[in-house]
Structure 1
């Protein structure tokens, strides 16, 4: 499937540079993460109306072309900065690259799934979205492996060129899909509407409100894991290469879990039980992992003679279920909303709202660490967030403003099958 291959290249491009970003975060620890996320959030606020204007004015083919080309050129332009990393400093380069990669991730991936929600109807989405996501998970496995293999051979800076090539391959495939759909007269007109529609719809549409709250709660758990692991990396790994390899290993394990979920539970849940189950189950898993950290703290689990930090296990588990189950389920729900909501509302939730949560949670965690609050107590806060997220996930999947499910299975919940 061309869509799955395109997503493979998107995620390969991202996961080649993600460990590069994370090793800069690991170099300074969680104390600097509030700064990183605050600058990212401000960038999102600036870019959201610009993205809304582009969606309103350009066809989806032009939108894909301009957006992806911009990020490809940025990757090439950042190579000299990494060649001069020792002179620039990890903190300065970390802020710039952390913000840029976060914007890259959110806009490139969010735009990809907005495009998929525009291409497929709700019934077809439940059939193929898990398969498309599986292609992305394969790319998310290949990306860290390439980084781990190449970083010792060519260094950090040339990895950005490899990432740019992968993103260019994805753009070529997506444009092929768009051309094929246009030949059938499907969706090549601009979306139109207001450039601030994403912000406005967040307040006017119950579905988007539930998704925004779910995003904030899920982000809180993920940010908690990321901050605690950053402190672990700072304390135990002093070299940039070692930190890059450490984060690459976490990414590889995360995405292996995501692939296993795609091959087993996710598609079965989406097809047989409906999207609500695929949204709720990851929140329950997060709850269990956090409870383990509450009692285990900085401890390790011995697996085949290797000590694996419980914090790393929590990060792998929470992210693996998010990418392997939550994301395909939530993206399938966006096929049941108007086109403007698919692009502008979805993008606002997955960019500005997400990064707002990052600022709040990293600032809170940093303050708690400075006050001497232990890992177990911080994880206990995440237990509360995951408990609430479990209930919110059910509300989002059965929101009354979702269009009726096409080809709804008899095993779906009544809310998913008949609410409009």
Structure 2
């Protein structure tokens, strides 16, 4: 519900209130959310007298997740998946910013445009989740669902390179992000069902924070470097195609490894690494 209300308010009030007022309102809402979280956490802790086995702390240093990743080809594959994902998303983000900045003179209009894009993403995501996600994953499998993201990325790069206008940005990015949220993210979570508890809570945290943010920052520097060298977005879109092919192959490999691990668990017990 919040993913609809937020963009709707921004789209309707951006020009009348201005971005500064919207930013203050967002900060206040975040503060309310923090207080709600603290209240729920306090109530939960007071009602649970003892911790179950799964609630106990595992211990270990902050580098334990990195060590686990370096010891597992499966986790290294997840790292590469995340790096390819963040790189493509960041390059698209900077290009959409350039297109929108060249089309709308004031910040309020740009804010309104991005709010409309978020509304499109939320609507498509809801439709996909209600009607498409479960039957599609059953039909094409985890690998096919994961591979939908590199395919949608190629479509977005191609569309924005051929028609660099706001309407293309809205449709291409809206479709790509909806595919990510509604189809790829559930499939990606399936990949974590065949790892140990320690890998799930330590390695997953490293991949979804350190790797994600690090890849995001590195891609931002790459985008700035390409711009400084005079490389147009069309060239970037052309170069991204082989990387998307690698990304698609990686999706299928991860899905195959996930299935092997799942089959091995049934035969030999949980989290046995298949040979």
Aligned counterparts of 2:198 and 2:218: Cα–Cα separation in 1: 28
C-alpha deviation, 1:241, in angstroms: 2.1
Alignment correspondent of 1:24: none
Q: How far apart are 1:246 and its partner, in Å?
A: 1.9
Separation in 2 of the partners of 1:321 and 1:246? 20
State the 4+ residue runs in structure 1 displaced beyond 6 angstroms.
174-184, 405-408
Q: Distance in 1 between matches of 2:114 and 2:107?
A: 11
Match of 1:249 in 2: 116
Partner SS for 1:156: helix
Give the superposition deviation at 1:164. Answer: 2.7
Rounded Cα–Cα distance in structure 2 between residues aligned with 1:244 and 1:277: 35
Could you list the per-position Cα deviations for residues 231-265 of structure 1 after superposition, in whole angstroms to 9, with x for gaps in the alignment? 12332333332222222122221222222221122
Which residue does 1:217 correspond to in 2? 84
Q: Where does structure 1 lack aligned partners over 5 or more consecutive residues?
A: 1-137, 301-307, 409-417
Match of 2:230 in 1: 372
1:318 aligns with 2:176: yes
Alignment of 1:323-342 (within 5 A): 323-342=181-200
Map of 1:389 onto structure 2 = 247
Q: Distance in 1 between matches of 2:70 and 2:216?
A: 21
**Paired residues of 1:198 and 1:348 also in contact (CA < 8 A):** yes
Q: Distance in 1 between matches of 2:45 and 2:196?
A: 19
- Tell me, yes or no, if the aligned pair for 1:280 and 1:393 is still in contact at 8 Å: yes
CA deviation profile, 1:116-153 (whole Å, cap 9, x unmatched): xxxxxxxxxxxxxxxxxxxxxx4323322233345545
Q: TM-score, normalised by structure 2?
A: 0.81
What displacement does 1:225 show? 0.9
What is the deviation of 1:333? 2.0
Q: Against the structure 1 CA distance between its residues 330 and 141, is the aligned structure 2 distance closer, same or farther, given a 3 Å change threshold?
A: same
Contact kept? 1:215, 1:353, Cα under 8 Å? yes
TM-score normalised by the chain length of structure 1: 0.55
Q: Find 1:282's aligned residue among 141, 149, 156.
A: 149
Task: Work out the number of aligned pairs and report it.
Answer: 265
The equivalent position to 1:292 in structure 2, one of 143, 159, 162, is 159
C-alpha separation in 1, matches of 2:42 and 2:189: 20
Paired position in structure 2 for 1:71:
none
Where 2:230 maps in the other structure, the secondary structure is coil
Residue 204, structure 1, aligned to residue 71, structure 2: yes
Q: In angstroms, what is the RMSD of aligned CA positions?
A: 3.2
Q: Kindly indicate whether the alpha-carbon contact (under 8 Å) linking 2:81 and 2:247 is maintained by their aligned counterparts in 1.
A: yes
